[in-house]
A = this chain, B = another copy of it.
Amino acid sequence: MPRIGKPGGRRLAEAGAAGGRPRGGAGAGRFFAVEAIDRAILTALSGDGRLSYTDLAERVGLSVSAVHQRVRRLEQRGVIKGYAARIDYEAIGLPLTAFVAIRPIDPAAPDDAPERLSGLPEIESCYSVAGEDFYLLLVRVKSPSDLERLLQEIRTAVNVTTRTTVVLSTPYEGRAAPVGR
């Protein structure tokens, strides 16, 4: 599986490689130090998924080959599930974001809502939640009338009641994960 990337090390502020790292001795890798480096890698890639191995190595204070090996392992273990471009939804004509809480009309009915709703691309995320609601959906649409249509589609697909919370603005979203806290 060829890992492609584009040259483009984004140079950002120096985060500083986590803590002291054992130099010299070949296999002196302590569990703690190892974990710290992986966390540094994940934090960096969480902020800029297109960082090159060269820049990544520079940031975490390791050689390119070592960083490459670690990233590969993280991808393989599923810690890194993939990479995605972060898109400005307003710019692409989807200025309306909303949370839709759904609750089954018949609580005894089989619960396959996520599957049934997965066909609606307007639903970006689906969370199973504790509390009175069953699921919380994050949706992106073009307009209020599109939201209305989507809500009808949801209710049609899974026999539920919906409670919608419109997002007015998004101060920040999808910030880097607090890896290593």
Contacts and interface: CB of A to CB of B under 8 A. Distances in A.
A85 B46 contact: yes
Interface stretch (A20-28, A102-110, A120-128): A120-128
B42 A177 contact: no
A147 to B, nearest CB: 12
A114 interface: yes
Kindly report how many copies of this chain are found in the complex they form together. 2
Interface string A83-119: 1111111011010010100000000000000100010
Interface string A35-74: 0000100100111111111110000000000000000000
A48 B10 CA distance: 16
A91 B179 CA distance: 10
Given A83-B86, A85-B82, A87-B42, A170 B125 contact: yes
A19 interface: no
Please classify how large the interface on chain A is, using the bins under 10, 10 to 19, 20 to 34, 35 or more: 35 or more
B88 A172 contact: no
Contacts of A5: 50, 52
Nearest to A175: B124
Interface of A: 3-10, 39, 42, 45-55, 77-89, 91-92, 94, 97, 99, 114, 118, 121-131, 133, 135-136, 140, 142, 165-179, 181
